[in-house]
Amino acid sequence: MDFYQRVARVCRTIPYGRVATYGQIAMLCGKPRNARQVGYALNRRTEDKIPAHRVVNHQGCLSGAGAFAVPDLQKRLLEIEGVVVNEDQVDLKKFGWKNTLEEATLLKALFEEEQI
């Protein structure tokens, strides 16, 4: 199982109306130090039906910087889901994805199973 595929998988696991951080995703992929690679992965595979708008940095800042072809697209998508965005930032305390231990375990097991 490729790291990028894992990233895609984890992103699709993020619940509607929640956001996750790069570091969080990297951790769930089994590579806690690969936060940057997560961003790189999303950049490469934005077309792959990955809800990348639910991914922000550890401060809750939106990626902005032309990550999405249309400016404010990420912000709009989040607001549609009920996530409040202020000054290109979201409140991780309220909207951050609190991944449960079960979800983490499920993903880990899934990865190990498909990795072989």
Residues 68, 78, 11, CA angle at the centre, nearest 5°? 75
Instruction: Provide, rounded to whole angstroms, the least separation between the CB of residue 65 and DNA.
Output: 6
* Half-sphere exposure of residue 35: CA atoms within 13 angstroms, side-chain side: 10
Residue 29 identity (one-letter amino acid): C
Residues at the contact surface with DNA, assessed by CB under 7 A: 3-4, 21-24, 31, 33-40, 42-44, 46, 52-53, 55, 57-59, 63, 65, 67-68, 74
Nearer to DNA, 45 or 103 (CB): 45
Instruction: Provide, rounded to whole angstroms, the least separation between the CB of residue 38 and DNA.
Output: 7
